[in-house]
Amino acid sequence: MIDIRPATVDDVPALAALRWEFRAGRATATEDRSAFLARCAEWMRTALIGDWRAWVAVDGDRAGGVRGESDAIVGHVWLCAIGKIPNPSGQRERQAYISNFYVRPTARGGLGRRLLQQAIDWADANGVEYALLTPTPRSRGLYGRHGFHVSEDWLIRPVRGKGL
Ligand SMILES: CC(C)(COP(=O)(O)OP(=O)(O)OC[C@H]1O[C@@H](n2cnc3c(N)ncnc32)[C@H](O)[C@@H]1OP(=O)(O)O)[C@@H](O)C(=O)NCCC(=O)NCCS
């Protein structure tokens, strides 16, 4: 059985490994795997005690009761709460950026929907006005079924300064 729960810093090594699996599977990595895992884990530890939160899907058959065991975490979704400047007119005062949404190929088929719903439920309960994300062509249907649509309210501008 696969359960979904909030991620903790104990999960970070597994989450960094899953990030590598997700992103290095899409484009050729220019960074060495172990260097990336160390850098990503450091970032995730800081993020999870800051404005980010994540939910993980844990395969009970693989978990053996050991939290953070990398094989047991088969999917995740991340959300960053972005504060708005306070308004005196009763508006919700956060946006939520949803990212790093990934389910291992062998666990796909209903799990993505369950993970995404966790992020949406958190946003609903925590003063979020809009949840934002960038879809892939393949994932648009899933997002559409969860109420995401193309907005006319936002303008975006790519920023390409020098360096990272
Ligand atoms: C997106 C993803 C997390 C969904 O998990 P899932 O368990 O497959 O999702 P569900 O079974 O609950 O929902 C099925 C929907 O997911 C989307 N989906 C399915 N496979 C997908 C894939 N390989 N890539 C992107 N989206 C996919 C489709 O919208 C699908 O609906 P459809 O069958 O009507 O087209 C998972 O497929 C995945 O990790 N894909 C690769 C990473 C990715 O594309 N992440 C999203 C980037 S915006």
| 139 C-alpha to ligand 1 centroid (Å) | 5
| 142 C-alpha to ligand 1 centroid (Å) | 7
State the pLDDT at residue 134. Answer: 97
Question: Which amino acid type is present at position 97?
Answer: Y
Whether the CB of 148 sits within 6 Å of ligand 1: no
State the pLDDT at residue 164. Answer: 67
State the pLDDT at residue 64. Answer: 58
State the pLDDT at residue 56. Answer: 98
Pick from 74, 71, 64, 51: which is nearest to 5 by CA? 74
State the pLDDT at residue 103. Answer: 97
Whether the CB of 9 sits within 6 Å of ligand 1: no
Task: Identify whether the C-beta of residue 24 lies closer than 8 Å to the C-beta of residue 33.
Answer: yes
User: CB neighbours of 153 closer than 8 A, spacing ≥ 6?
Assistant: none
pTM as predicted: 0.94
pLDDT tens digits for the chain (164 residues)? 999 999 999 999 999 999 999 999 889 999 999 999 999 999 999 999 999 999 999 998 876 544 545 679 999 999 999 999 999 999 999 999 999 999 999 999 999 999 999 999 999 999 999 999 999 999 999 999 999 999 999 999 999 888 76
